[in-house]
């Protein structure tokens, strides 16, 4: 996945909010659409 402090924040979001919200969290930070894999 991603590396660095961003990855740490993302992992915390994933654990706290779950996978789908985690994906949106990533998208919001990147200011890009959500891609569901």
What are the 10-residue block averages of pLDDT along the chain, 37 residues in total?
55 63 72 60
Give domain status of residue 7, yes or no. yes
As a whole number of Å, the CA-based R_g of the chain is 9
Residue 22 within a domain: yes
Is 24 inside a domain boundary?
yes
Residue 28 per-residue DSSP state: H
CB 12 within 8 A of CB 21: no
What pLDDT score does 37 carry? 54
pLDDT, residue 26, reads 72
The parent domain of residue 20 ranges over 1-30
pLDDT at residue 34 in the model: 57
Instruction: Identify the pLDDT of residue 28.
Output: 74
pLDDT at position 18: 62
Could you give the 3-state DSSP secondary structure of residue 32? Answer: coil
Please tell me the pTM assigned to this model.
0.25
Rounded-to-integer distance, Cα 8 and Cα 33, Å:
21
Count of structural domains within the chain: 1
């Amino acid at each position: 996945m991603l590396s660095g402090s961003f990855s740490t924040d993302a992992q915390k979001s994933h654990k706290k909010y779950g996978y789908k919200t985690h994906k949106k969290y990533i998208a919001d930070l990147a200011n890009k659409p959500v891609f569901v894999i």
